[in-house]
Chains A and B, each alone.
Chain A
């Protein structure tokens, strides 16, 4: 019935077009089955096809058997077990199913393993009743375990899929041997099982081997028997005893590769000394008589475990193999095993330098082996080696993340990561704070001591965040990954997701480990997936991990709350110290506060009465950091302190970029340190900051502070000696200084006003126009209403003065020439006093009177009171002259 994939797929397609009568469904089931078990079909596809086949025909035992087999091979032993169980419901006599079930049980817990071992023994004995009894034992075990979990389908007496136990069987599962020849197909499994136990039962081994010897006449029987003998020797059975059994079975009489292999193993196991062993082993490997794994196993057993050669001799022995042998992968593993064994002995014997050397050798051979990294880290801690400690523990952490990233699996080494970070976090906390539960615990003195030990505190701050992250990723229940209750709203779930992603993005990249970027992506993907599942009400309702993981979830919630409270207490201690040197630590603490899940914690704190219902946890954190930042100037900084103080405030601004208070503090610091341009720029930048509505009230006050600072900076740019000029030359100098100040600080009002005022005082139309331009530009770029008002007021007064000056000029242009003509006419009259001269002079005077009157009116309109007076007396004089000239003309 062999046929190709394409043919089967074509047949399936055709069957699916037909009406779903029973015969069509049975054909579909068989077609899906054949495709599933084809050797080229990938396991995932095969599983899917078998599930479809079961849907078409739920009563075919071989479908469940093969589904179980595939799940078993992929490591899902518990799930495979239920499929085998179902196969046995339908085919209660299937030895294949019993055997597979036994093998699956051997991979599970202690009770399952015991059951599996008993099942293997029963298979060897071939007793069907015994097998059925054990099946009942298994059902009882499953029932017992299910009653401890939230949900199971096994309690109703129905099969694992809820189908009736007594469904009609559709025949045996493949080719099943009869019970009579039972042991023939299982003695090897039983032997392997015995040899795998910590304490194999020799009697049972002998019995199984006895069965094997009876099979020697059959196909492959000798090879199987010889292989079994080889296994026994390799697992430590005395070679002489095994040789006796083999000889009795006649193995040595058959020129068979298996027999040759067995003979070679006997020679090796009976070698006189290590050197002879190596020579013989190398030769056997060269001739292809034995596999390399066998040699490695014998070597380790004989010359590392049983005969304890010193480490140096052990390595020398390994080095005496020929190069091609030493280059084999299994020999590299053998070397690592030897190095590790000697290293552990050295550790136990307090020969720590030797242990370090040996484990370092092992690390050089296999840099990604976690146990080596753990051991080197423990060694560094035990020797208190400052040089080794940091690199060793960093390497261990890095490796745990790198391997997970490389395997594309966040769950890999997760338990180790969680434990590592928890250990470091706990030890760093308990170093100064042995008691953390109870009122006023840790005490203020303990907190102060802890703060003084910055190294230890840094460890706690860092490690707890990493522990928290791994603890969250460890959950299988989506809502527990997010740290939410089962009935959380979509918004809460979204916020929790965002908080956890923030946590990942804040905590991991700063570690600088290789592969951490990939790990971040994986972690983010898991969180996102958890969110999607949690959103779906059906998935949420079917969350089978929720109840079992709830105790751990509650513990983690308590730990998180404890963390929050401790962080706050630390912050309060720092604030009380009133020292700028504590600001960086405060920022580190604040960062940790803000990456915690604020919404969930807010509710928790309110529920436990730690804060009032109207208090916002985040506001408390922010206020604390602002209060701490206000200490930037204490103690008085030296020049050398300045960069650090600025860096500290910069960090505060980074943590809370939206808080104007911190920007103001920063500007003040820059100003106090005489970094005026920086202070000016920072103030302008801060003014552009959008402010959340709840901070609007304080924001106005803070903005005014910033603008005042900007003004003050501009004013200070004019040198003090130049600030009050009296003479024109001094005024010119001051005006120049004001222009420079304005160029540097265009939004500062004082230089602008000083410049405008000086321009007016210096006089002239051009200067007047310039002053108006300066003020008009200032109004356009004013930062607030106060600035605008001041400039507008000054502009108003300048404009008035300018108008007066213009009017004055006009009057001057009109009156002066007229008065000059009068003077000229009077002078000519002095030289020529005839009638025509008098007439001419009279004419000039009368014209002058008209001009001066016009000028007087212009002065009056422009409010030039000084000029009015002068023009009035000029008019009076001109009128008197007119009268004189008129009477002279008449005479």
Chain B
């Protein structure tokens, strides 16, 4: 029976970053690894060849991933890398601070409105009454008055 293979070496695993890492995170990871490898290169003369190879691989992986077009191509070719990541199944408010704050604020506003202590809308996005934004217009107001009569 065919089954997907979750274990796969990739530029991401080499650099120790998630497939969803930003370019900055990738750059930082690459720079950190390069620094470590250069240190080891100085301290471990017997392992120089292996360290040089690894350094080349780290640089190549970093180059491929920090350039957007190259990264897109790499991701397309290795679609499994992003897909084979355990996801968070909780509702947004339990995951993202922004969603949490947003939902809590709405809940608190609704709660207090129900208790007779409504909060002012945070912004126009939360308002529904814009009567105050109407401007007087003599012709229109005349027609409306006529219509009421």
CA–CA, A134 and B53, complex, Å: 47
Asked whether, in the complex, the Cβ of B91 is within 8 Å of the Cβ of A381, the reply is no
Which residues does chain A contribute within 8 Å of B147, judged by CB atoms? Answer: 7, 10-11
Residues on the B chain within 8 Å of A370, using CB? 87
A324 to chain B, nearest CB (A): 17
In contact, A99 and B123 (Cβ under 8 angstroms): yes
Decide if B18 is an interface residue (CB 8 Å cutoff): no
- Check B115 against A257 for contact (C-beta < 8 Å): yes
Q: Say whether B4 contacts A423, CB under 8 Å.
A: yes
| A200-252 CB contacts (< 8 Å) to partner B | 220, 223-224, 227, 230-231, 234-235
**Total contacting residues, chain B, CB less than 8 A:** 66
Inside 8 A of A340's CB, which chain B residues have their CB?
88-90
In chain B between 105 and 140, which residues have their CB closer than 8 angstroms to a CB of chain A?
105, 107-112, 114-120, 122-125, 128-140
Q: Once the chains are docked, how many angstroms separate the CA of A456 from the CA of B5?
A: 12
Q: Which of B32-40, B54-62, B74-82 lies at the interface? A: B74-82
Contact A223 B119 (CB under 8 A): yes
Q: Which of A100, A227, A235, A389 has most chain B Cβ within 10 Å? A: A227
Most buried by A among B91, B109, B110, B148: B91
B108 near A1 with CB under 8 A, answer: no
Question: When A24-B139, A426-B80 are in contact, do A389 and B3 touch as well, CB less than 8 Å?
Answer: yes
B83 close to A419 (CB less than 8 A):
yes
Q: What chain B residues lie within 8 Å of A426 (beta carbons)?
A: 77-80
When A288-B115, A294-B104 are in contact, do A198 and B80 touch as well, CB less than 8 Å? no
Roughly how many angstroms separate A11 CA and B144 CA in the complex, as a whole number?
6
Known contacts A196-B97, A235-B101, A375-B87, A23 near B122 by CB under 8 Å: no
- Residues of A near B101 (CB, < 8 A) are 192, 195-196, 231, 235
> In whole angstroms, what is the CA distance A174 to B83 when docked?
48
Q: Within the complex, which residue of B80, B120, B133, B140 is in contact with A62, where a contact is CB–CB below 8 Å?
A: B133
A378 interface residue, CB < 8 Å from B? yes
Contact B117 A223, beta carbon cutoff 8 Å = yes
A875 part of interface (Cβ distance < 8 Å): no
Are the C-beta atoms of A223 and B112 separated by less than 8 Å?
yes
A337 and B105 CA atoms in complex are apart in Å by: 20
The answer, yes or no, to whether B93 is at the interface (CB within 8 Å) is yes
Contact status A291-B108, CB under 8 Å: yes
Is A529 positioned at the interface, with any CB of B under 8 Å from its CB?
Answer: no
B25 within 8 A of A: no
Q: Is the contact region of chain A dominated by helix, strand, or loop, or is it mixed?
A: helix
A294 to B93, CA, bound (A): 11
Smallest Cβ distance from B141 to chain A, in angstroms? 7
CA distance A23 to B137 in the complex (A): 9
- Give chain B nearest CB distance to A384 CB in angstroms: 6
Q: Which of A28-36, A561-569, A711-719 contacts B (4 or more CB under 8 A)?
A: A28-36
Q: Interface size for chain A: under 10, 10 to 19, 20 to 34, or 35 or more residues?
A: 35 or more
Q: Answer whether A256 and B117 are a contact pair too, CB < 8 Å, given A11-B144, A378-B86.
A: yes
Query: Residue A382 at the B interface, CB < 8 A?
Result: yes
Residues of B within 8 A of A638 (CB): none
State whether A196 touches B102 (Cβ < 8 A). yes
Instruction: Give A867 to B117 CA distance when docked, in angstroms.
Output: 133
* CB atoms of B140 and A11 under 8 A apart: yes
Contact A378 B6 (CB under 8 A): yes
Give B75's nearest chain A residue, CB to CB.
A419
Is there an interface contact between B143 and A14, defined as CB atoms closer than 8 Å? Answer: yes
User: Counting CB contacts under 8 A, is A883 at the interface?
Assistant: no
* B139 → A minimal CB distance (Å): 4
Q: Does A283 contact B (CB under 8 A)?
A: no
* A65, A235, A340 interface centre (most CB from chain B within 10 Å): A340
A508: B residues at CB distance < 8 A: none
Out of B2, B77, B110, B133, which one reaches A37, CB within 8 Å?
B133
Interchain nearest-CB distance for A199 vs B (Å):
10
Task: Given A1-B131, A27-B137, A231-B105, answer yes or no on A456-B2 (Cβ-Cβ < 8 Å).
Answer: yes
Q: Is the CB of B94 within 8 A of A66?
A: no
- Nearest chain A CB to B100's CB is how many angstroms away? 6
Q: Which of A69, A297, A428 contacts B2 (CB 8 A)?
A: A428
CB distance from A296 to the nearest CB of B (A): 8
Q: Using Cβ atoms and an 8 Å threshold, which residues of chain A touch B93?
A: 293, 296-297, 333
Closest residue of B by beta carbon distance from A380: B3
The answer, among A195, A336, A431, for a CB contact under 8 Å with B89, is A336
**A197-B6 Cα distance, complex, nearest whole Å:** 33
Q: Which residues of A contact B144 (CB under 8 A)?
A: 3, 7-8, 11
Complex-state Cα separation, A25 to B35, whole angstroms:
69
Closest-CB distance, B14 to chain A (whole angstroms): 19
Task: Give every chain A residue within 8 A of B110 (Cβ-Cβ).
Answer: 291
Within the assembled complex, what's the spacing in Å between the Cα atoms of A458 and B2? 9
Mark each residue of chain A from 345 to 388: 1 if its CB lies under 8 Å from any CB of chain B, else 0: 00100000000000100100000011110110010111010100
A336 contacts which chain B residues (CB < 8 A)?
89-91
Q: Find the residue from A1, A197, A420 having the highest chain B CB count within 10 A.
A: A1
- Cα separation A359 to B93 with both chains bound (whole Å): 19
Does chain B have a CB within 8 A of A96?
yes
Q: B residues within 8 A CB of A386?
A: 1
Q: How far is the CA of A31 from the CA of B139 in the complex (A)?
A: 10
Judging by beta carbons under 8 Å apart, are A224 and B104 in contact?
Answer: no
Interface residue? A469 (CB, 8 A)? no
- Asked if B28 is at the interface of the complex by the 8 Å CB criterion, the answer is no
Whether the Cβ atoms of B3 and A290 lie closer than 8 Å is no
Contact partner, A66, options B22, B78, B133, Cβ 8 Å:
B133
What chain A residues lie within 8 Å of B3 (beta carbons)?
380-381, 384, 389
In the complex, B52 has a CB within 8 A of chain A? no
Q: How far is the CA of A338 from the CA of B119 in the complex (A)?
A: 31
Distance of A202 from chain B, by nearest CB (Å): 14
- In the docked arrangement, what's the CA distance between A551 and B60, Å? 23
A731 within 8 A of B: no
How far is it, in angstroms, between the C-alpha of A174 and the C-alpha of B132 when the chains are bound? 7
Instruction: Given A174-B130, A220-B117, A337-B91, decide whether A197 and B97 contact each other with a Cβ distance below 8 A.
Output: yes
Pick the contact of A195: B5, B97, B107, B125 (CB < 8 A): B97
Tell me if A684 is interfacial: C-beta within 8 Å of chain B: no
B103 is an interface residue with CB less than 8 A from chain A: yes
Q: Is the CB of A427 within 8 A of B108?
A: no
CB pair B135–A171 under 8 Å, yes or no, is yes
Whole-angstrom CA separation of A375 from B107 in the bound complex: 30
Say whether A261 contacts B139, CB under 8 Å.
no
Most chain A beta-carbon contacts within 10 A, residue among B82, B90, B118, B131: B90
Cα distance, A65 to B22, chains bound together (Å) = 34
User: Quick check: B130 and A189 within 8 Å, CB to CB?
Assistant: no
A145 at the interface (CB under 8 A from B): no
Q: Closest CB-CB distance, A284 to chain B, in whole Å?
A: 11
Contacts of B123 in A (CB 8 A): 96, 99-100, 103, 189
Decide if B97 touches A293 in the complex (CB within 8 Å): no
Residue of B nearest to A6 (CB): B147
Cβ of A374 and Cβ of B4 under 8 Å apart?
no
Whether B117 pairs with A371 at a CB distance below 8 angstroms is no
Cross-interface CB contact of A419 among B1, B82, B91, cutoff 8 Å:
B82
A-B contact pairs, 27 of them (CB 8 A): A1-B131, A2-B131, A7-B148, A11-B144, A37-B134, A110-B22, A173-B133, A174-B132, A175-B133, A197-B98, A220-B120, A227-B108, A227-B112, A235-B97, A235-B100, A258-B115, A261-B112, A291-B108, A297-B93, A297-B100, A337-B94, A344-B88, A381-B3, A381-B5, A419-B82, A420-B83, A431-B2
Extra 9 A-B pairs, beta carbons < 8 Å, given A69-B125, A375-B89: A65-B124, A223-B117, A227-B109, A227-B112, A235-B101, A288-B114, A293-B93, A427-B80, A458-B2
The 4 closest A-B pairs by CB, nearest first: A337-B90, A371-B87, A257-B115, A196-B98
Chain A residues within 8 Å of B, Cβ to Cβ: 1-3, 7-8, 10-11, 14-15, 23-24, 26-27, 30-31, 33-34, 37, 39, 62, 65-66, 69, 72-73, 96, 99-100, 103, 110, 171, 173-175, 188-189, 192, 195-198, 220, 223-224, 227, 230-231, 234-235, 256-258, 261, 288, 290-294, 296-297, 300, 333-334, 336-337, 340-341, 343-344, 347, 359, 362, 369-372, 374-375, 378, 380-382, 384, 386, 389-390, 393, 416, 419-420, 422-424, 426-428, 431, 453, 455-456, 458-459, 555
